[in-house]
Amino acid sequence: MKALLQRVLSASVAVEGEVVGAIDRGYVVLLGVAPDDGHAQIEWLVDKVLGLRVFANEQGKLDYNLRQIGGSVLLVSQFTLLADTQRGRRPSFSGAASPDHAERIYNTVALGFAAMVPVQTGRFGADMQVSLINDGPFTLSLERSAQ
């Protein structure tokens, strides 16, 4: 499982010109699912994302997590995070999970976040346009393999 987390002031995702998800302050989480990903990776990701202290306190120290600032998550599926670009010029996506498996994991991750914070999502498998105002910019790469 790979996730790219971006701290944002606001973000939205649109499909065919229609906004299907939007948040104010919080995280955009771009999620790539691998074939062996399961419950352990889901639990790890939800716990890690919700526990990260990347919001500043009054002294400017990164001290608050998403829940403490009342933030939200915009979760967007992105199989391209699992691209292999080592050879040639065309990325290989053989490291990504099948669409059925990836959608199940994606939906379960969304439910895991939704149990703790407000969540909006993109539309799995759709051609999406993501707009955001990155706060910082502040972007983290998170990865956990099934081992």
Taking the C-alpha atoms of residue 89 and residue 98, their distance in angstroms, rounded to an integer, is 23
Active site residue 120: no
Nearest-Å Rg of the Cα atoms of the chain is 15
C-alpha separations of 92 from 46, 80, 112 in Å: 27, 9, 30
78 is catalytic: yes
Name the catalytic one among 41, 55, 79, 113. Answer: 79
- The values of phi and psi at residue 100, to 5°, are -65, -50
Catalytic residue (one of 6, 41, 78, 120): 78
Confirm whether 80 is a catalytic residue: yes
Q: Report residue 14 as tokens.
A: 């649109």
Which positions are catalytic?
78-80
